[in-house]
Structure 1
Amino acid sequence: MITVRCPITLDTADMARLLNEIISAGGTTAMARPVTGQDLAEWIAHDPDHSAWYVAVDGAERIVGFQWIEPAKYLPREAAEIATFVQIGQTGLGIGSALFTATCKAAKALGYVWINANIRADNEGGLIYYQSRGFQDYRVIEGHKMADGQIVDKRLKRFDL
């Protein structure tokens, strides 16, 4: 059974562990360096009036995924950027769906009109996930230079609330 709730301070170390496994595996996130629980705590606290964070936990209260929305400088005020991370090996179990339900509700409450997903074009799982939620392609960024120097294309997808 998956439960979605807002993260608490004690969650940030497990969130960092989950995210670092994804970063280490490569190919799905733009993040290139490992993160700490303190990094995540700071991100969560950064702009609480314009962002929303959720964790998905299993029956033993283990973090199996998390998602957030926040403003992005390249987006208009009515749009929020989304990021989603699900534990490796746990995709396809409804974790992302449960997170997205909570995130959509929060986005509306925060006054957003649409949500933007900025996805590496080689992240097949991410593309499928956002497509299955109803996101529509609206732009391609070709030759994006990642923090680690790798060059990838990015696909921007939009979900109207």
Structure 2
Amino acid sequence: MAGGTTALETPLTAAEFADWFIDGEFALVCHVAAHDRSLAGFQSLSLYGDPPKGHADIATFARMSPKISGVGSAVFAATQAAAEELELEFIDATIRADNVGGLAYYAKMGFELYDRLVQVPLLDGTPVDRIKKRFKVDAGRRPTSSR
């Protein structure tokens, strides 16, 4: 898994990774997908950034090479089930506008546009919009997995 168009511009240490996605103050759940005994992707829900009550923030990462079809759908099915158990109303995603794959993924999972942050500078100063999408958690509505 690598950066490029991810919101994370600097690599995390193992301790930072665990704190952000697994067992830190804001982490709610984390699901992983494996293929041939190796990590193919993961997805987490957190309360990072102090979202409104009933909302959680989602982070999704998938291995780029070799790409494994169906990883995103598989982890989202598990994440959605966890969101239902946590009685969340919405799952929020913030995606860089230059992350074409991420925008397509969240659209495929049923996320809908609700806001846009214009010209947010990257660490190198390059301005890039952030697209804010939201998924209404609805028991019984599940994406279909191709795996």
TM bin (shorter chain): 0.7 to 0.9
1:63 aligns with 2:47: no
Task: Give the Cα separation in 1 of the matches to 2:13 and 2:108.
Answer: 30
Find the counterpart in structure 1 of residue 25 from structure 2.
Answer: 47
Q: Name the TM-score, length of structure 1 as normaliser.
A: 0.77
Pairwise CA distance, 1:38: 2.3
Find the counterpart in structure 1 of residue 15 from structure 2.
Answer: 38
Task: Give the Cα separation in 2 of the matches to 1:159 and 1:117.
Answer: 8
Corresponding pairs, count: 136
Task: Give the Cα separation in 2 of the matches to 1:40 and 1:33.
Answer: 12
Paired amino acid for 1:108: E
Q: Name the TM-score, length of structure 2 as normaliser.
A: 0.84
Task: Give the Cα separation in 1 of the matches to 2:95 and 2:126.
Answer: 15
Find the counterpart in structure 2 of residue 7 from structure 1.
Answer: none
Task: Give the Cα separation in 2 of the matches to 1:31 and 1:77.
Answer: 25
Larger helix percent: 1
Pairwise CA distance, 1:107: 1.0
Identity %: 38
Pairwise CA distance, 1:45: 1.2
Task: Give the Cα separation in 1 of the matches to 2:113 and 2:67.
Answer: 22
User: Does the 8 Å CA contact 1:80/1:114 hold for their aligned counterparts?
Assistant: yes
1:113 aligns with 2:94: no
Task: Give the Cα separation in 2 of the matches to 1:92 and 1:157.
Answer: 24
Pairwise CA distance, 1:36: 2.3
Deviations 1:51-70 (A, max 9, x none): 110111113x2001011011
Task: Give the Cα separation in 2 of the matches to 1:107 and 1:47.
Answer: 17
Paired amino acid for 1:37: A
Match of 1:137 among 72, 88, 113: 113
| Runs (5+) with no aligned partner, structure 2 | 138-147
| Runs (5+) with no aligned partner, structure 1 | 1-17
SS at structure 2 position matched to 1:122: coil
